[in-house]
């Protein structure tokens, strides 16, 4: 089991160093979609590094049970610790995911009711829900249908080009499943809080999804309209379960919007952003499949 332990140590070391590396690359102008994919890969490898000793010990015990051999003391201790950490992370992370899901569902339902009150119809996925208030609000809500919400106060203070850029920014959040990525980041932080990568995942992912949505809006409408909107709406408020235009890291976003957009990376960035959510889901299913197979082999033995 020495090789497995070394692999786990390397994985945990990567979990310690990767947040700083990802933030450094974001400041240097690396594409946010690519960095989101790198974050997802880092999270998957970290979870695998934590779970590997426990899974190896489980399979080892199955083999010993079939061959009547004694288990090793150190291997057993490491395996028990690993299994306990994984079980705790699964329960705590799952609870956090469920809580976030309930909050978002409740918030979406309230906005759907508001759409009926204001417009006498259900909200549409391709439309914008306008709130009749002079306060500045611009945010998106995941759900069925996904919603882009703006206030009339925003419409009064921005020109048409800036409004289109803001709407494109919010639609990018919805199309690229940014709400899901943020929920996963909070679940990882809840379950593996003792790892720097997990602990910093919520703030890191919030930064990256804002940069990714900015890049999409800038490629479509240019960086100047979005920059004007961000300068004016940097203090705009949004519900906790939504993704607002102000978001995080406004200074970094403004700095990146000071230069021209990079259309050459658009297709790869979109693919990377979409594949991030798919990678996390597939990895989780594979991990469950491996664990189920190991348990089945023990039962068969």
pLDDT at 196: 92
Partners of residue 129 on adjacent β-strands:
149
Q: Are 56 and 79 in contact (CB under 8 A)?
A: yes
Nearest to 114 by CA among 239, 245, 277: 239
pLDDT at 121: 86
pLDDT at 78: 58
pLDDT at 264: 47
Residue 139 corresponds to which tokens in the numbers above? 């945010």
**Cα gap 62→35, rounded to integer Å:** 40
Residue 93 corresponds to which tokens in the numbers above? 């992370």
Q: Are 131 and 213 in contact (CB under 8 A)?
A: no
H helix or E strand, kind and range, residue 151 = strand 147-151
What's the gap between Cα 85 and its chain centre?
Answer: 22
pLDDT at 162: 95
Other C-beta atoms lying within 10 Å of the C-beta of residue 278: 11
Q: Is the peptide bond before 145 cis (omega within 30 degrees of 0)?
A: yes
With vertex at residue 44, the alpha carbon angle to CA 71 and CA 241, rounded to the nearest 5 degrees, is 130
Q: Residues near 274 by Cβ (< 8 Å), separated by ≥ 6?
A: 176, 177
Residue with tokens 């910093």: 200
What DSSP character marks residue 234? T
**Cα gap 82→88, rounded to integer Å:** 10
Instruction: Reduce the DSSP state of residue 244 to 3 states and report it.
Output: strand
Q: Is the dihedral of CA 5, 195, 89, 80 positive or negative?
A: positive
Residue with tokens 């759900």: 143
**Cα gap 81→234, rounded to integer Å:** 45
Instruction: Give pLDDT tens digits along the chain (301 positions).
Output: 455 666 677 777 878 888 999 999 998 888 998 899 889 888 888 887 777 665 655 555 565 555 555 555 545 565 666 677 778 888 999 999 999 999 999 999 999 999 999 888 888 888 899 999 999 999 999 999 999 999 999 999 999 999 999 999 999 999 999 999 999 999 999 999 988 999 999 999 999 999 999 999 999 999 999 999 999 998 888 888 888 887 668 889 999 998 765 554 545 555 554 555 555 555 555 555 555 555 555 545 5
> H helices within 68-192, ranges in order?
73-119, 152-157, 160-175, 178-191
Q: Are 138 and 244 in contact (CB under 8 A)?
A: yes
Q: What is the number of residues in the chain?
A: 301
pTM: 0.80
> H helices within 28-72, ranges in order?
32-67
């Amino acid at each position: 089991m020495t090789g497995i332990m070394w692999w786990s140590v390397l994985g945990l070391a990567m979990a310690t160093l990767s947040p700083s590396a990802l933030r450094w690359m974001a400041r240097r102008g690396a594409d946010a979609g690519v960095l989101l994919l790198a974050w997802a890969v880092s999270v998957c490898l970290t979870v695998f590094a934590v779970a590997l000793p426990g899974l190896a010990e489980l399979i080892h015990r199955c083999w010993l049970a079939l061959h009547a051999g004694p288990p090793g003391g150190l291997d057993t201790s490491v395996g028990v610790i690993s299994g306990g950490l994984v079980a705790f992370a699964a329960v705590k992370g799952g609870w956090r995911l469920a809580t976030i899901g309930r909050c978002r569902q409740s918030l979406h339902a309230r906005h759907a009711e508001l759409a009926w009150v204001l417009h006498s119809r259900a909200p549409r996925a391709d439309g914008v829900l306008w709130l009749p208030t002079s306060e500045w609000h611009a945010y998106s809500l995941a759900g069925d249908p996904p919603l882009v919400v703006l206030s009339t106060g925003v419409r009064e203070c921005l020109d048409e080009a800036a409004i289109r850029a803001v709407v494109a920014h919010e639609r990018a959040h919805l199309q690229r499943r940014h709400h899901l990525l943020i929920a996963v980041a909070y679940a990882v932080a809840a379950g593996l809080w003792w790892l720097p990568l997990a602990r910093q995942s919520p703030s890191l992912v919030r930064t990256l999804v804002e940069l990714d949505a900015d890049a999409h809006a800038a490629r479509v409408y240019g960086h100047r309209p979005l920059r004007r909107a961000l300068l004016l709406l940097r203090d705009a408020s949004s519900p906790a379960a939504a993704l607002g235009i102000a978001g995080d890291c406004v200074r970094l976003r403004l700095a990146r919007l000071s230069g021209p957009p990079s259309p050459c990376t658009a297709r790869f960035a979109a693919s990377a952003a979409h594949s991030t959510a798919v990678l996390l889901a597939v990895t989780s299913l594979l991990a469950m499949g491996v664990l189920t197979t190991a348990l089945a082999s023990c039962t068969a033995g």
